[in-house]
Homo-oligomer: A and B are copies of this chain.
């Protein structure tokens, strides 16, 4: 669980970082930025801020914003609705991330991208400047993500 104040601050941070990367948001979008602490209550350390542009039954596009050093913990996207699991491409817009996919480790900076196959364990962590990452993918069902840490709860709770 995160506090209302943490939630507000994380939304403000994400909107500010997106703006600095030249990404224009509507007020409704800024207010709809999802703040995920994965149920661990250590948002700045393990968490993610997410703006979903579109998510149809075929494709999805999001912006991901990370605090400096913030980690999106190891998970995979299993098959659903008769489709292979979600396949996704991360493209760094600003800052940098380290990305672990299966046994590979990559460092991505602005203008660099990588595609993660379906149902493959991966995690990523922002560098000291934080990160803005565009995610292009097949249809997204975050609620079905399988995390390695059994303590993780994907659905955010703000209290």
List residues of A whose CB falls within 8 A of some B CB. 21-26, 29, 53-54, 56, 58-61, 84, 87, 89, 91, 93-94, 110-113, 115, 134, 136-138
Which 4 A-B pairs have CB atoms at the shortest separation, nearest pair first? Answer: A22-B22, A24-B111, A61-B136, A24-B110
| Identical subunits present | 2
9 examples of A-B residue contacts, CB within 8 angstroms:
A24-B93, A53-B113, A54-B89, A54-B115, A56-B138, A58-B138, A59-B136, A61-B89, A136-B136
CB closest chain-B residue, reference A132 = B22
Bound-state CA distance A134–B29 (Å) is 16
Which of B84, B89, B110 interacts with A53 by CB under 8 Å? B89
With A59-B59, A113-B54, A115-B54 as given contacts, are A23 and B89 in contact (CB-CB < 8 Å)?
no
CB distance from A94 to the nearest CB of B (A): 8
Bound-state CA distance A22–B111 (Å) is 10
CB distance from A33 to the nearest CB of B (A): 14
Chain B residues contacting A23 (CB-CB under 8 Å) are 22, 93
Interface pair B22/A59, CB less than 8 Å apart: no
Interface pair A56/B113, CB less than 8 Å apart: no
Interface pair A111/B29, CB less than 8 Å apart: yes
Interface pair A26/B112, CB less than 8 Å apart: yes
- 18 additional contacts (CB under 8 A) given A24-B110, A25-B111, A58-B87: A22-B22, A22-B23, A23-B93, A24-B111, A26-B111, A26-B112, A29-B111, A54-B113, A54-B115, A56-B115, A56-B138, A58-B84, A58-B138, A59-B138, A61-B61, A61-B89, A61-B91, A136-B136
